[in-house]
Amino acid sequence: MKFIIDAHLPKSLAHFFSPHEVIYTSELSKGNLTPDRDINALSVLEERVLITKDADFYYSYIAARKPHKLVLVKLGNMRLKDFNSYFERNAKTILDYLHTNSFLILEQKRIRVLE
């Protein structure tokens, strides 16, 4: 499985998805200024899961099934320690869901699967 992690999420997130291939939007040619349509196109082309806090991707997924797969992070503002703790507890479950599902919403008390 391959991932794109969007601009507003910490680089520490990649640790929880190793040994999967992870790229950050900051690593793309236009960096964090890469338009959403380009991120969607890359996700579809390379079959990458997009992990983001950006609700605009929710609407593009609902309207056009882009990106390829979407993990929408709706955890609110939290300290990095708490954010990392959330992913330490839930990364395996997230990966398991992504094997059979295309759209997850991460909330503090639950992981919602939408299709």
pLDDT tens across 86-95, in order?
Answer: 999 999 999 9
Give the SS3 label for residue 19.
coil
CA–CA distance, 51 with 79 (Å, rounded to integer): 18
25-77 per-position pLDDT tens digit: 999 999 999 999 999 999 999 999 999 999 999 999 999 999 999 999 999 98
Q: Which domain holds residue 99?
A: 2-114
pLDDT of 18: 87
Indicate whether 115 pLDDT > 90: no
CA of 27: how far to CAs of 5, 23, 33, in Å?
A: 10, 7, 11
Predicted TM-score (pTM) of the model is: 0.95
Q: For the chain, how many structural domains are there in total?
A: 1
Q: Say how far apart CA 115 and CA 69 lie, in whole Å.
A: 10
